[in-house]
Structure 1
Amino acid sequence: MSGPAPFSRFEWLIAWRYLRARRAEGGVSVMTWISLIGITLAVFALIATLAVRSGFREEFVDTILGTNAHLTVYAVPHATPGGGTSRVIEDHVAMTDRVRAVPGVVHAAPLVKGQVMATHRGANAGVEVYGIAPDDLAAIPRIADPQEAEGTLADFGTGDIPGIAIGSGIARELNVGLGDTLKLISPDGARTAFGTSPRVSNYPIVYIFTAGRWDIDRTRVYMPFDEAQVYFNREGAADEIEVMVADPDDAESMALPIAQAAGDMALVWTWKDASGSFLRALDMEDNVMFVILSVLVLIAAMNIVSGLIMLVKNKGRDIGILRTIGLTEGSILRVFFICGSLTGVVGTAMGVALGCAFAIWIDPIFAIVDGLAGGDVWDPSIRGISFLPARLEAGDVLSAVALSLGLSFVVTIFPARRAARMNPVEALRYE
């Protein structure tokens, strides 16, 4: 005659009776609640951290790819007629056409770059000027479609004095707006018979953008390509060629064909080369945070062990009676396993709900925290991006669920086995 099937209805009923028993009846409901709350908070913290981590990484990478080239082509340093060296690209038109023809390249544009001093009514700021054609500027995602913008990109480079585009951080620091004139001062300016004198030029501001990256919004100025060639003494030349490819993650494999197309005197630098150290730091931080929060989940799961040990001790007489009337060791083990695992399952479910809610409504939650703290909780100059992002990923949620349930089930086995191996004679001897 075979015994009852595992996890039969009576085993669930006994386990449920023990979980909801009052302390006066030999139950440990207080410890059960402590275990439940601990698991809930630990899973919530794990999911919330993973969501913010994923959101921060996505936002950071998106600002890189949305405002910078996926690959950049430079010229190898070469000698100039005056005896110096230069890295300007003289044949930038032909080189750009060759690079643009490489399969997988979606856009290529020559660029002139230079660092200058921007000034307006006594306020000064160091900025980096990007000389770029209007059509090429419109192809940069975070500039053509930024988080916030004033003016229109159609006015860029128009007028008798060509209009320029600046980041919102520059506008705030110099207290300038649309229609104002920004003075740019370059130390390497006009060449005269007496040497090189600083070049001072005034440009109207026709477009103010917020790309979402503090260092870009605070330092970047876009100037029409032809005007930048004159301003930086690059007549007929460019400093680099910015390349956009169909798959930015595949940029490293695209470097060789682009370098071959550009010619022997070209060097190629990918976005991963430029930001590789930061990305590696993010990966290391991700791993460390996951380990730390996994320990937090383990500590919360250990509360289940404490509660179950107390429950087994208080229910010794019941265990003896159950064994006497015919319950097997396996049935006793499963009863107490259900007691512990139910706490883990319910706590995990509640933690997942709280963590997902936090990630979904992070903006109003953060606004409340920022208001209670008096503002300036998030400093873009330190974090690099202008807001706290969060992104829920199925893999992160499943990892948190698997970790919590796995630990809850494992730690429950040991006190459950202790209950199953209890000698009914010893349990009833003094009853």
Structure 2
Amino acid sequence: MARRTAPFSAFEFLIAWRYLRARRAEGGVSVMTWISLIGIMLGVAALIITLAVRAGFRAEFVDTILGSNAHVTVYSAPTEVVAGSGVFSRLMQDYEARAGRIAAVPGVTRAAPLIRGQVMVTYEDRSNVAEVYGIAEADLMTIPRVAHSEEALGEISRFGEGIALGSGLARELGVGIGDRVKLISPNGAKTAFGTSPRVSSYEVVYIFTAGRWDIDRTRLYMPFAEAQSYFNREGGADEIEVDVTDPERVDDWEIPLLQAGGAGTLLWTWRDASGSFLRALDIEDNVMFVILTVLVLIASMNITSGLIMLVKNKGRDIGILRTMGLTEGSILRVFFLCGAFTGVIGTALGLALGVVISLNMDQVMSFVNWLNGGDAWDPSIRGIYELPAKLQADDVIKAVGLSLGLSFVVTIFPARRAARLNPVEALRYE
């Protein structure tokens, strides 16, 4: 009785590798192998690049939100100013005590009273609308993307002497450090003849870049006491900005913050403001993953075509191998290895290509801009200034595992067909 060989023996790898190197007369098999290999390589690279860009975009987008905005905004429900007057206000008169109670909540890292308003900013013959944030200098220093901006101009330590502008707003107005701009608010001083607009002049002492196009183009910071006076909020605050240790779990702080804020306290989290956009990103990610999975599957199906052609061309060899004592299992493994080699090599090349492009996304985008003859990435539409890429180990493993799995699965059918080939029929007309 013939001794059975161990599965995937060295000779099975040798035969499979020799079959992949088709001779010139079997050029069709070689062409199909190359098509399969290139298709899998491009599919895997596209999948890795897409996953990296998706992760990078989401991380950068969330970082710009959390780095320049509050994780939770605390404000008051409307209350009647004078009983029976019918005039309601959201102004917090007890903002200092309320901010102190909120800051004492475990996990809260910042509780900053804030004045909010909108003004017209003018400089020489230019003007634009700005959203004013009245904030204390100590609280401004705790906003990472503003206080520690890499492209900042001026000195934030002089914030008490003037105002801070976003770089986009400063660029549109054409102002620099030391220039004085006028702020115009329609809700100014109240006189017997009505409310007159308020016009005040301030020196620009600090220009920041937060990394978000909409923030840099519209935001203006003003000292808290000055904002109280300018917007007629003496003795009060519009809201309290709150930061927590883990913004991804911000919902866990809702009940403690409501309890600390007291009666009439309302909350607005960063997820409430941007949750719909993030959910849209997740849906888009899932759709893109499915589409690219189909592309990898189509590329893998070329392996089936190539193996079917290889089995047809190697019918005589299969018959000879069977008569020499190779079992159906050995034949199946030989042709399985033929397809597996293509899948593994294509996946490895795709992995290398995808990683290289992901790590050099800035240069890739520069090349795309050069081809388009301009700016191919519009921050006014996408919010952030560049297309980031963030390689994550689980994304790479997911792409590689998917490619190898599909490559191995589609190889089974033609390999079984080769194993079941009758050696007598294969050699009858040879």
Return the offset for 1:31.
1.1
1:42 alignment counterpart: 43
Return the offset for 1:374.
1.4
Return the offset for 1:183.
1.3
State the alpha-carbon separation in 1 of the partners of residues 293 and 267 from structure 2. 41
Higher mean alpha-carbon deviation, 70-79 vs 187-196, is at 187-196
Matched to 1:67, the amino acid is S
Determine if contact 1:147/1:212 at 8 Å carries over to the other structure. no
Determine if contact 1:341/1:408 at 8 Å carries over to the other structure. yes
The question of 1:128 aligning with 2:131 is answered yes
Determine if contact 1:333/1:420 at 8 Å carries over to the other structure. yes
Matched to 2:144, the amino acid is P
Return the offset for 1:2.
3.5
Higher mean alpha-carbon deviation, 286-295 vs 370-379, is at 370-379
1:91 alignment counterpart: 94
Unaligned runs of 5+ in 1: none
2:163 alignment counterpart: 164
State the alpha-carbon separation in 2 of the partners of residues 140 and 273 from structure 1. 20
- Structure 2 length as normaliser, TM-score? 0.97
Determine if contact 2:35/2:302 at 8 Å carries over to the other structure. yes
2:151 alignment counterpart: 148
Residues 3-402 of structure 1: matches in 2 within 5 Å? 3-25=4-26, 28-81=29-82, 82-158=85-161, 163-402=162-401
After superposition, the C-alpha distances for 1:19-78 in whole angstroms (9 at most, x for unaligned) are 112231577211111111100000000000000000000000001100011111010111
After superposition, the C-alpha distances for 1:101-142 in whole angstroms (9 at most, x for unaligned) are 111111110000011111112212111000000110010010
Regions of 4+ moved over 2 Å: none
**2:200 aligned counterpart, secondary structure:** strand
Matched to 2:415, the amino acid is A
Determine if contact 1:143/1:209 at 8 Å carries over to the other structure. yes
2:418 alignment counterpart: 419
Determine if contact 1:18/1:27 at 8 Å carries over to the other structure. no
State the alpha-carbon separation in 2 of the partners of residues 34 and 27 from structure 1. 11
Higher mean alpha-carbon deviation, 199-208 vs 80-89, is at 80-89
Matched to 1:428, the amino acid is L
After superposition, the C-alpha distances for 1:252-281 in whole angstroms (9 at most, x for unaligned) are 110110110110121112111111111111
Instruction: Quickly say closer, same or farther: Cα 1:26–1:170, change in 2 above 3 A.
Output: closer
Unaligned runs of 5+ in 2: none
Give the aligned length.
Answer: 427
State the alpha-carbon separation in 2 of the partners of residues 53 and 79 from structure 1. 48
Matched to 2:9, the amino acid is S
Higher mean alpha-carbon deviation, 74-83 vs 232-241, is at 74-83
Determine if contact 2:166/2:207 at 8 Å carries over to the other structure. yes
Matched to 1:125, the amino acid is N
Instruction: Quickly say closer, same or farther: Cα 1:200–1:26, change in 2 above 3 A.
Output: closer
State the alpha-carbon separation in 2 of the partners of residues 361 and 25 from structure 1. 40
State the alpha-carbon separation in 2 of the partners of residues 225 and 169 from structure 1. 23
After superposition, the C-alpha distances for 1:279-307 in whole angstroms (9 at most, x for unaligned) are 11111111111111111110111111111
Matched to 1:19, the amino acid is L
**1:320 aligned counterpart, secondary structure:** helix
- Structure 1 length as normaliser, TM-score? 0.97
**1:243 aligned counterpart, secondary structure:** strand
Percent identity between matched residues is 70
Determine if contact 1:20/1:27 at 8 Å carries over to the other structure. no
Return the offset for 1:350.
0.8
Matched to 1:88, the amino acid is L
Determine if contact 1:118/1:184 at 8 Å carries over to the other structure. yes
**1:267 aligned counterpart, secondary structure:** strand
Determine if contact 2:26/2:313 at 8 Å carries over to the other structure. no
State the alpha-carbon separation in 2 of the partners of residues 246 and 25 from structure 1. 65
**2:196 aligned counterpart, secondary structure:** strand
Instruction: Quickly say closer, same or farther: Cα 1:109–1:318, change in 2 above 3 A.
Output: same
**1:124 aligned counterpart, secondary structure:** strand
State the alpha-carbon separation in 1 of the partners of residues 266 and 409 from structure 2. 55
State the alpha-carbon separation in 2 of the partners of residues 256 and 311 from structure 1. 67
After superposition, the C-alpha distances for 1:301-352 in whole angstroms (9 at most, x for unaligned) are 1111111111111111111111111111100100000000111111111111
State the alpha-carbon separation in 1 of the partners of residues 263 and 154 from structure 2. 42
Q: RMSD value over aligned CA atoms? A: 1.1
Return the offset for 1:193.
2.1
